[in-house]
Structure 1
Amino acid sequence: MADSELVPAGELAARAGVRFPNESAAYRAARTALLAEEIELRRHIERVAEMRRALPLGGAVPDSYRFIDETGGERALGDLFGGHDTLIAYNWMFGPQRRRPCPMCTGLVAGLAAAAADLMQRVGLVVIGRSPIERQIAFKVERGWRDLRFAEALGDAFAADFHALAPDGSEWPALNVFAKREGVVYHFWGGEMNGETMDPGQDPRGAPDPMLLWTMLDLTPAGRGRDWYPKLSY
């Protein structure tokens, strides 16, 4: 539907009619104004999603990348699709130099683990690390991530080419989507928001933010804050 055919967000907000006990008139006026902006945000998210879905296929992915899956077998990227034509792959910061994985990555992976069984009805899903697959499986078992699949990248070429490894050896988290057409794997979409795209006072973040933790904290009076980050244990 074209934007010109949509009911104005302010009118929809006024129609909503939601009220809570003991709220003031000032609260209701501010909340209705916010609701209009939330409706506009929802519409913008959908416009962006439509643009994303309309992307042409990206570059063909070389078949030289190799991975070790949880069975211990060596696989190509195309073997990780799980019978689907689309693969969501998240490179987490758990290289061989790390004793434990990145806490931020762990939080995002926990969200993927919770949705993995549902996601894998529609698409392939895999978390890729540079650490040996045995270490990744051990952490998966520790966390109780039953349905999520992990793989070890053999060598650093995949991580470097898909922006999970910096030239100086530093690790980055990387979220990529791949598509398979007639047996050929193509890159479709990858997160490109980084330090060069961040606004003042903000960490680099995606939009929408794929990490549930931050999305939920954004609903609170203090927001996500500036000096707190998750840990592996408390």
Structure 2
Amino acid sequence: MTALTPASELAARNRAHFPNETAEYRQARNALLAEEIELRRHIERVAELRRRLPAGGEVTKTYRFEGENGPVTLADLFGDKTTLIIYSYMFGPQRERLCPMCTSFMASLEGKVPDIEQRVALAMVARSPIERLVEGKKARGWTQLKVYSDSDGRFTRDYVSAEDADVPGYTVFTRRAGTIRHFWSGEINGEMADPGQDPRGAPDVDPLWTLLDTTPQGRGTDWYPKLDYDGS
């Protein structure tokens, strides 16, 4: 393993300065820079550990979905890729409107679908009938995200919520030599939140929160995205 230069030494090489900053600010900023370098390294370590996971459970059931162009199976969702990401979003039959948090994340993906699909297959799955999912998609102006209905709930109960609850899920599958296996799912839940912390996974999949974390206001404790901001 290559020995890494201490983060503090790398931060000491920083030549950035901005108009009228104080020595106190620069000292604190360089200390923060060292922590940012450590965070980057930790993200890399976690990603490497994820890639090294042993083979996940084989998918032996034939999961069926209803897509915008008709019925498909889990295997069909791979297309010509060996990896499939499924985001299960909160838009069950009992929900009047799309979940704002899920919508925020999905909106961030919409423009990146062509890039994502260079590497992996991507599918958005929810429990409502496909007609309702298509209607919700059109209402948001999405044209690139592919939505699928888990109409019988078998996939949702096995990989998202055994109780078939209307909760989000992020699941990654692989296909090698014709065998589909579960690779990784987000498993952090509200019971794992630190004191005073809004429950969330790590890393945050919605770039909204990463952006807000760079601001003095931060993400806050009581603000969440909405479907619209006209007061309705």
TM-score, normalization by structure 1: 0.94
Contact 1:113–1:147, Cα closer than 8 Å, also in 2: yes
Q: Does 1:103 align with 2:100?
A: yes
Unaligned 5+ segments in structure 2 are none
Counterpart of 2:8, as a letter, is G
Deviation at 1:166, TM superposition (A): 5.5
Contact 1:65–1:154, Cα closer than 8 Å, also in 2: no
**Partner-residue secondary structure (3-state), 1:95:** coil
Deviation at 1:98, TM superposition (A): 1.1
Contact 2:128–2:151, Cα closer than 8 Å, also in 1: no
Aligned residue number for residue 166 of structure 2? 171
Counterpart of 2:142, as a letter, is W
Distance 1:213 1:31 in 2: 23
Counterpart selection for 2:144 from 142, 147, 162: 147
Aligned residue number for residue 60 of structure 2? 62
Distance 2:60 2:90 in 1: 23
Deviation at 1:190, TM superposition (A): 0.2
**Partner-residue secondary structure (3-state), 2:42:** helix
**Partner-residue secondary structure (3-state), 1:196:** helix
Contact 1:63–1:77, Cα closer than 8 Å, also in 2: no
Distance 2:177 2:134 in 1: 32
Deviation at 1:179, TM superposition (A): 0.3
1:3-18 correspondence runs (5 A): 5-18=3-16
Counterpart of 1:124, as a letter, is A
Aligned residue number for residue 191 of structure 1? 186
Q: Does 1:113 align with 2:85?
A: no
Deviation at 1:47, TM superposition (A): 0.6
Distance 2:48 2:141 in 1: 35
Deviation at 1:142, TM superposition (A): 2.1
Counterpart of 2:101, as a letter, is M
Aligned residue number for residue 51 of structure 2? 53
Counterpart of 2:113, as a letter, is A
State percent identity of aligned pairs.
Answer: 57
Q: Deviations over 1:96-116 (max 9, x none)?
A: 111111000000111121211
Distance 1:140 1:117 in 2: 17
Deviation at 1:7, TM superposition (A): 0.8
TM-score, normalization by structure 2: 0.95
Distance 2:36 2:176 in 1: 37
Distance 2:22 2:111 in 1: 38
Which segment is superposed worse, 132-141 or 33-42?
132-141
Counterpart of 1:186, as a letter, is R
Counterpart selection for 1:135 from 129, 132, 136: 132
In the comparison of the two structures, how many residue pairs are matched? 229
Aligned residue number for residue 41 of structure 1? 39
**Partner-residue secondary structure (3-state), 1:227:** coil
Deviation at 1:154, TM superposition (A): 2.3
Aligned residue number for residue 91 of structure 2? 94
CA RMSD of aligned residues (A): 1.2
Deviation at 1:195, TM superposition (A): 1.7
Aligned residue number for residue 162 of structure 1? 159
